[in-house]
Structure 1
Amino acid sequence: MSAQNSAGIQTLLDAEREASKIVQKAREFRTKRVKEARDEAKKEIADYKASKEDEFKKFEAEHSKGNEAAEQEASKEAEKQIEVIKEAGKKNQDTVVKNLLQAVFDVKPVAA
């Protein structure tokens, strides 16, 4: 009976060792698969980010051209208005100076 018990215990120990090896291989496989999945996810994220950055650059390029044109048009319009104001200033400069000097030198006291 003792020999049978010893053989049974040995069989159980062998089975336990085999089960331990299987569990260890499963853990290693799972760890490897998790690392692979993480690497795949990082690559997908990088690809998606690059795609969206390209998309944004195209969008920005398309819309900034319109802004530049509008900015140039506004700048031209502003220059025209500045020239009109300068011409009006030159045209009326003598009259304005005369009126200012007259107001300063011809003081009319008023009782308060």
Structure 2
Amino acid sequence: MAGQSSQSIQTLLDAEKEAAKVVQQARQYRVQKLKDARTQATKEIEEYRKQKEQQFKSFEASHAGTTQSAQVAVDKETEVKRKEITAAYDKSKDKVVKKLLDRVVLVQPELHRNLKKLES
């Protein structure tokens, strides 16, 4: 009976060692799967980033012409307005200078309306 009990204990110890090996292998498998998943996720993220950058570049290229044409239109409008302002300035500058000179040169001295006359 002692031999059989010793053999049963040895069988249990062997089974326990085998179970520990299986658990260790499962842990290693899980760690490897996590590493593989991270690597795959990194690749997918990089591919997605490249795809979005490509979409953005194509969007930017397609709308760059719109921006340039808008800039040209604004430049033309600005030039037209500048010419209008210059024409108005050239037309009115002589009148304005004359009015300013008349105001400065032709002074008519008079007493202020709030000044009371002194009675003597």
Same fold, TM-score > 0.5, yes or no: yes
Partner residue, 1:43: 43
Aligned mates of 2:51, 2:13 — CA distance in 1: 56
Q: Which segments of 5 or more consecutive residues in structure 1 lack a partner in the other structure?
A: none
Indicate the structure (1 or 2) with the bigger Cα radius of gyration.
2
Aligned AA for 2:89? G
> How big is the shift at 1:111?
2.3
> How big is the shift at 1:55?
0.8
Structural mapping, 1:26-105, within 5 Å = 26-105=26-105
Aligned mates of 1:107, 1:39 — CA distance in 2: 91
**Count of equivalent residues:** 112
Aligned mates of 1:65, 1:101 — CA distance in 2: 52
Aligned mates of 2:103, 2:113 — CA distance in 1: 18
Whether 1:9 aligns to 2:19 is no
- TM-score, normalised on structure 2? 0.84
Structure showing the higher helix proportion among its residues: 1
Q: What value does the CA root-mean-square deviation take over the aligned residues? A: 1.5
Deviations along 1:55-112, one digit per CA (max 9) or x if unpaired, are 1121122223212211111111111211121122123221211111112222344624
Partner residue, 2:113: 111
Poorly superposed stretches of 4+, deviation over 4 Å: none
Partner residue, 2:23: 23
- TM-score, normalised on structure 1? 0.90
Aligned mates of 1:50, 1:58 — CA distance in 2: 12
